[in-house]
Chain A
Amino acid sequence: MVQVSRYQLILMLIWTVLGTGIVTMPGTIAQFTLRDAWVAAFGLLLGAVMCSLVSLAHVRLFPGRSLTQAAIDVLGPVLGRMFGIWYLAYGFITMATIGREMSAFIGISVLPNTPDFLLSAIAFAVSMYLAYLGIEVVARVNEFIVPLAAVVSPVLFLLAARLFDASPFQPLLGDPAGAAWHAAVVPAFAYGLEFSIALQWVPALRSPRTLPWDILIAGAISAFVLSALVTLTVGVLGDPARYLNYPVLELVRAIRQGKFVERLDTLYVMGVAITLVLKLAALQLAVGEAVKDVSRSPERTWIPIPVALLGWSLSNYLFRNVFDVTNFILRDVPGYFLLTVVLLPGALYALRTAQMVRTKRPRRLQNT
C-alpha cells in the first residue's frame, strides 16, 4: 500500500509550484510592478486557497478517489472519460510548458551549444524513471533534497542580501492597486492552481482528509519564499529586473564575495534543474493516474514511457522559443487553469451533491 505522509505531500507541493516559480515568476511579476512586487507574490496564496476549497469538497465527496476517478463516478464512463481526456490535455500542456521552460533555461544559462530538445529529453527521461518508481519514491527524493536546499538557499539569500537596496520599494505600496493585481494574476492562476494536482494523488495519501490544510500550508510557505525572493531580486537589481527574462539568475550572478566566491549562477541553475525534474515527475504521476483511469487499467507501470514521450515531443512542438512560453503563461494559462482545475471540478462536485440529494430524498419519504 503506497502511502505519502503529510510532510512529504507538503514538500512535493512546494517543489512543484516553486520549481518553475522561482525561474519565471519574478520576471512576470516585475513586468507589471516593482514597488508592489512583494505583495503580488502573495497571489500564490489566492491560488492555494482556491485549490484548498476544491480539495475540501473533493475529499468530502470522494474520499480516496482521484479527480479523474471522481469524474467517471459522477458523469458515467463516457462523459467521465471525456473529462479525463480534457484533464490529460491540461496535464500534457503543463508538462510541455515546464519542459520547454527548463530546456530553454538550461540551454541559455549553462549549455548553450547543446540542442534544447536533447536537454529536455534527459530531464524527461529522468523524471519518467522517477514516475515509474512511484509516488512514494518521488516523495522521498523530495524529502532527501530538503536538507541540501535548507543549507544552500539561506547562504545564497544572505550573500545576495548584502547588495539589497530598499529604494525600489519606496514609497511602500506606491503603485496603483491594479498593477499589483495584474502582477498577482500569474502567481495566483498559473502557479497557485498547480496545487490542484494533489487531487490526482489522493488515492496514495496517508491522510486525505487533511489535504485542504496541507495545500494551504504549502501555499503559505511557497508564497512566503517567493515573496522573499522577489523582494530580494527587485531590491538588488532595481529597475532592470523589469526587462530580464530570468531576474533571479542575474541576482545570483550579482553575488561576489572576495575573489573566490563568484559566478554561483551555475550552481543555482543546477538547483533549479533538480526542482524542475521533481516537478515534471510529480506532474507525470498525476497525468499517469489520469491515463490509468481513462484506460481503465489496474497497472500503472506501463504508463510513464508514453506519457513522458508525448510530454517531451509536445514541449518541442508547442513552444518554439521562450517567448512562446511566456506569452502562453501570461495570456492563456490563467483562464485555462481556472476552468480546468477549479470551475470544472466545482461543477462536478455540485452535480455530485445534487445526485446525493436526489437519492436521499425518496428514502426520507419512505421513512416517513
Chain B
Amino acid sequence: MTSVWAVLWAVLAALVDFRRWVPGSWREWLAWFLLTSLAIGVAIAADLHWWPKLGPLHLLDLAFSGPSAWLYGGQGVLQEE
C-alpha cells in the first residue's frame, strides 16, 4: 500500500526531478563540488565587496587588450573614449 507521503514524494520528484540533479560518480561529484564551491566563493566575495587589485578581469585585460587593439588596427583607438 502506497502511503500518502510516498505519493507526495513521487509528485515532488516528478515535478522537480531532483533525483536526476544529483551527480553519480566521484568524478561528477568532484566537478559538481568544484563548480558549486567556486560559485559560492565568488558570491561571497561579491557580497563582501572583495575585489582584489588584480582580479580576473584585470588579468584578461592584461592579456587581451593588446591583441584586441591590434585587431582595431592601432593602439590608440580605444583611448579616445
Point out the residue from A31, A302, A324, A335 that lies within 8 Å of B23, measured CB to CB: A302
The 8 A CB mask of B15-31 against A (1 = contact, 0 = none) is 00100111111011011
Point out the residue from B35, B39, B60 that lies within 8 Å of A336, measured CB to CB: B60
Residues of B within 8 A of A309 (CB): 35-36, 39-40
Question: Is the CB–CB distance between A306 and B36 below 8 Å?
Answer: yes
Question: Is the CB–CB distance between B67 and A339 below 8 Å?
Answer: yes
Closest residue of chain A to B71, judged by CB? A334
Residues of A within 8 A of B61 (CB): 328, 331-332
Residues of A within 8 A of B38 (CB): 310
Residues of A within 8 A of B71 (CB): 185, 189, 334-335, 338
Point out the residue from B35, B46, B81 that lies within 8 Å of A317, measured CB to CB: B46
Alpha-carbon gap, A314 to B55, bound state (A): 12
B28-58 CB contacts (< 8 Å) to partner A = 28, 30-32, 35-36, 38-40, 42-43, 45-46, 51, 55-57
Point out the residue from B28, B39, B40 that lies within 8 Å of A297, measured CB to CB: B28
Residues of B within 8 A of A185 (CB): 68, 71-72
Known contacts A185-B72, A317-B46; decide if A310 and B35 are in contact (CB<8 Å): yes
Known contacts A182-B73, A301-B20, A314-B42; decide if A332 and B68 are in contact (CB<8 Å): yes
Q: Determine which residue in B28, B39, B56 has the highest number of CB atoms from chain A within 10 A of its CB, and name it.
A: B39
Question: Is the CB–CB distance between A312 and B39 below 8 Å?
Answer: yes
Alpha-carbon gap, A305 to B36, bound state (A): 9
Closest residue of chain B to A181, judged by CB? B73
**Chain B CB within 8 A of A333 CB:** yes
Closest residue of chain A to B34, judged by CB? A306
Question: Is the CB–CB distance between A328 and B60 below 8 Å?
Answer: yes
A313-329 CB contacts (< 8 Å) to partner B = 313-314, 316-320, 324, 328
Question: Is the CB–CB distance between A332 and B65 below 8 Å?
Answer: yes
Closest residue of chain A to B62, judged by CB? A332
Nearest CB in chain A: distance from B31 CB, A: 4
Question: Is the CB–CB distance between B42 and A317 below 8 Å?
Answer: yes
**Chain A CB within 8 A of B9 CB:** no
Point out the residue from B24, B60, B73 that lies within 8 Å of A332, measured CB to CB: B60
Nearest CB in chain A: distance from B14 CB, A: 14
Question: Is the CB–CB distance between A302 and B42 below 8 Å?
Answer: no
A269-293 CB contacts (< 8 Å) to partner B = 291
**Chain B CB within 8 A of A330 CB:** yes
Question: Is the CB–CB distance between A302 and B28 below 8 Å?
Answer: yes
Alpha-carbon gap, A181 to B67, bound state (A): 15
**Chain A CB within 8 A of B77 CB:** yes
Closest residue of chain A to B74, judged by CB? A178
Question: Is the CB–CB distance between B21 and A336 below 8 Å?
Answer: no
Point out the residue from B31, B36, B60, B73 that lies within 8 Å of A178, measured CB to CB: B73
Alpha-carbon gap, A299 to B24, bound state (A): 8
Point out the residue from A181, A189, A306, A333 that lies within 8 Å of B35, measured CB to CB: A306
For this complex, 15 residue pairs linking A to B, each with C-beta atoms less than 8 Å apart, are A182-B72, A185-B71, A299-B20, A299-B23, A302-B23, A305-B36, A306-B31, A317-B46, A318-B57, A328-B60, A331-B65, A334-B72, A335-B63, A335-B64, A339-B67
By a beta-carbon cutoff of 8 Å, the part of chain A in contact with chain B is: 31, 93, 117, 132, 178, 181-182, 185, 189, 291, 294-297, 299, 301-302, 305-307, 309-310, 312-314, 316-320, 324, 328, 330-336, 338-339
